């Protein structure tokens, strides 16, 4: 086994490890959408697109002050 073949096996192994790491990170992002506090920040993603006066707010707030 010469150095070129060893580099090819190393490159292939590194590529497979990085692909697995990427897909596991993507799965982690989409499986755990809520924050530690229980807030789902994905609902805020299209806030810039729905900014008309007639659109419903992302998180409705009441006018009453919390005590």
Asked if residue 21 has pLDDT above 70, the reply is yes
Taking the whole predicted model, whether its pTM rises above 0.75 is answered as no
Residue 15: per-residue pLDDT: 98
Supply 33's token pair. Answer: 């959408």
Q: Which tens digit of pLDDT belongs to each residue from 1-20?
A: 899 999 999 999 999 999 99
Task: Write the secondary structure of the chain as one string of H (helix), E (strand) and C (coil).
Answer: CCHHHHHHHHHHHHHHHHHHHHHHHHHHHHHCCECCCCCEHHHHCCCCCCCCCCCCCCCCCCCCCCC
Candidates 56, 59, 25; CA nearest to 41 is 59
Residue 66: per-residue pLDDT: 59
Q: Which tens digit of pLDDT belongs to each residue from 33-64?
A: 666 677 777 777 777 777 777 877 777 776 67
Residue 13: per-residue pLDDT: 98
């Amino acid at each position: 086994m010469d150095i070129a073949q060893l580099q090819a096996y190393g490159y292939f192994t590194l590529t497979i490890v990085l692909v697995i790491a990427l897909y596991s990170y993507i799965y982690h992002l989409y499986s755990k959408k809520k924050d530690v506090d229980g807030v789902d920040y994905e609902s805020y993603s299209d806030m810039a697109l729905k900014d008309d006066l007639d659109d419903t707010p992302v998180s409705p707030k009441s006018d009453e002050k919390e005590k």
